[in-house]
Chain A
Amino acid sequence: MSKTKVVTGGLDQTGSFDFTSGLTLGDNLLFDASSKGVYIGVTSATAANLLDDYEEGTFTPTVSVGNLGSDSNGHYTKVGRLVTFTLLADSLDNTSSSNDILIQSLPFTSLSTAESSAHAVVACKNVNKSNLTLVAQIAVNGSQMEIKSNGAGGTSNGQAGIRYSDLGSSAAFKISGHYYTS
């Protein structure tokens, strides 16, 4: 395909162009307002097809009782409304509280709808419980998640919270998951 170089110094055009043979850009595409995006898979402006947000970055997880070790960290990528994250909550220092464990400070507030109460996958070390299958339940309308056991002895929804007092020395959790934000 032959290419026609249109302009090198930038182009400020109020109207629109038709590119019938495709479009090759030599640099990144930048909109003049943060709310703008790209309609994908449609030939007319349809809200459900508008990809208008992308962001990647880091966050620092915290816990509801006590502190985490300095190796704790988290990474996220947000595409549209979907947030994908991984985190390490390392060396929880409280092993006596009877409170359930809450991992806090996810990078975005979750949706308020019930189905946004997503579950994330959890790997752990030094948790003094046997036969554990752990999940992390992300709260609706919040930025925290509760560590729960998916095994016997759970509450009516089949899960029971894990408490700080269930932890041994230097307990840690590695968690990955997804949830929706506004």
Chain B
Amino acid sequence: MAITKETQIAKIEVVGEYKAVQIATDTVIKEDGTELSRSRHRHVLHPGNLDASNNLVATDISGEDAEVQAVANAVWTDDVKTAWKNKLIADKS
């Protein structure tokens, strides 16, 4: 009887004009290959955060799955980053 635990990226979604990348990751527990349980963890990535001088500091995605990195790098164009930065600045007022 072998109990295994694995993680699977269940969804990568690109949402909204600022191209938020939503990731759903499932943790799957199996016994001899038969699924016993599955739980979901989510996180959302945006292009970056503002520093104290309102510069956009890019989100570090180096620890993300390669597929997630590819999606983020594809959709976070310079125009998207600029729009996101302007939105964050506007949100502060």
Which A residues fall within an 8 A CB radius of B? 55-60, 64-65, 76, 97-100, 102, 104-109, 112, 139, 141-144, 146, 161, 182
A109 and B43 in contact (CB under 8 A), knowing A100-B92, A141-B87?
A: no
Which one of B20, B24, B51, B91 contacts A57 once the chains associate, using CB atoms below 8 Å?
A: B24
Which B residues fall within an 8 A CB radius of A? 15-18, 20, 22, 24, 39-44, 46, 49-52, 87, 91-92
Pick the most buried of B24, B49, B50, B92: most chain A CB atoms within 10 A of its CB. Answer: B49
Is A139 in contact with B42, judged by CB distance below 8 angstroms? no
Kindly report which residue of chain A lies nearest to residue B26, judged by CB atoms.
Answer: A57
A75 to chain B, nearest CB (A): 10
Contacts of B22 in A (CB 8 A): 107-109
* Distance of A10 Cα from B27 Cα, bound (Å): 28
Contacts of A55 in B (CB 8 A): 24, 40
B82 to chain A, nearest CB (A): 15
* Distance of A72 Cα from B27 Cα, bound (Å): 19
Is A182 in contact with B39, judged by CB distance below 8 angstroms? no
B92 to chain A, nearest CB (A): 7
Is A139 in contact with B91, judged by CB distance below 8 angstroms? yes
Is A58 in contact with B15, judged by CB distance below 8 angstroms? no
Is A112 in contact with B16, judged by CB distance below 8 angstroms? yes
Is A107 in contact with B15, judged by CB distance below 8 angstroms? no
Contacts of A144 in B (CB 8 A): 46
Is A142 in contact with B17, judged by CB distance below 8 angstroms? no
Other A-B pairs beyond A58-B41, A144-B46, 5, CB < 8 Å? A55-B40, A105-B44, A107-B43, A108-B44, A142-B20
